[in-house]
Amino acid sequence: MAINCVSLFLMRSTTRQSLRSVQSLRSICQCSNNQGVIAFTSNRGFNSLPPNFQLNTAATHKLSSNPAPLSPPNEDTRKENEALLSRISEGLKLKKQMLEEPEETEPHVIYEGVLTGQMKRLKLFSLTTSGMGLAMQPVLIQKAAEIPLAGSVAAFGMVGFFTFGTPFLIHLIAKKYVTEVIYDPQRDEYQATTFTFFMRKKKTVFKIDDVKVPDVPGPFTTLTIKTEEGKYVPFFLAPEAFLKPSHYGRFMGYDKPIDLRLTPQNTDSNNSKSERRNE
């Protein structure tokens, strides 16, 4: 009866072609003299069955019991898996786009900001109101003696905010916005164009190695670029504004090997513990 049960188990395990089943069966079927286990061939079962074997009932009961259910992944693990899948999909899209895009040897535009016109008008309006506020300063100073103190303070505060505060607040956002990016294939260099405080164009030349994507990007920031002074300056680029989407993939690092972060974080502590044990 025991031999029939083992034969039935062997037939099911060989049809599944699972290495785990074969290893489990080796732990169940042992010879009485403890000198060998059943010798298996490729996919057809076993070569020989010793006549003097006995069943390991404890192992058999362990196999027949239901395995413990796996615990669901926590929130951090789920987010890391989603980020990994997104990175893999973006990398595959990048490879496809690079194959479809025609090769060009001359410098050409790869990015045009869709809000360039709005940024120009906003900064122009801000500078115009600041100029009007400066022009009103002499009139306000003359009228300050005729109005109460509270009214003069409120008037000067409001005019001062719109004159000096608004342009600086707008510039904090507008200086990060990239209006145009030109790529030079021969030098493998990029040239990004932004606005200065007085609406003049500022050009930043960089290579792909100078681009860094922060783990936690700041407000209105897509990536940071290393300038000639050695500082990383934040810039904002909209993905849909790229004329060549493959360059967006290069900026975001989708063409680089994926770091699965399989190395444990406490490697240093483990090394120190092993050194202490050796001592």
| Per-residue pLDDT, 73 | 66
Tokens of 156: 């000067």
**Rounded-to-integer distance, Cα 248 and Cα 238, Å:** 9
- Are the C-beta atoms of residues 31 and 50 closer than 8 Å to each other? yes
DSSP string, 133-147: HHHHHHHHHHHTTTS
- Are the C-beta atoms of residues 212 and 227 closer than 8 Å to each other? no
Global pTM reads 0.57
Q: What is the pLDDT of residues 38-79, one digit of tens each?
A: 444 344 444 444 555 454 444 444 444 555 555 666 777 777
Judge whether residue 241 has pLDDT over 90: yes
**Rounded-to-integer distance, Cα 149 and Cα 159, Å:** 15
Q: Is the dihedral of CA 32, 35, 41, 42 positive or negative?
A: positive
Q: What is the pLDDT of residues 202-227, one digit of tens each?
A: 999 999 999 999 888 788 899 999 98
Spatial strand order of the sheet with 189-195 comes to 108-112, 180-184, 189-195, 201-206
**Rounded-to-integer distance, Cα 156 and Cα 248, Å:** 47
End-to-end CA distance of the chain: 57
**Rounded-to-integer distance, Cα 59 and Cα 57, Å:** 5
CA 276 vs CA 9, 56, 129, 226, 270: distances in Å: 49, 41, 70, 42, 10
Q: What is the pLDDT of residues 69-99, one digit of tens each?
A: 556 667 777 777 776 677 677 666 666 666 5
**Rounded-to-integer distance, Cα 197 and Cα 183, Å:** 25
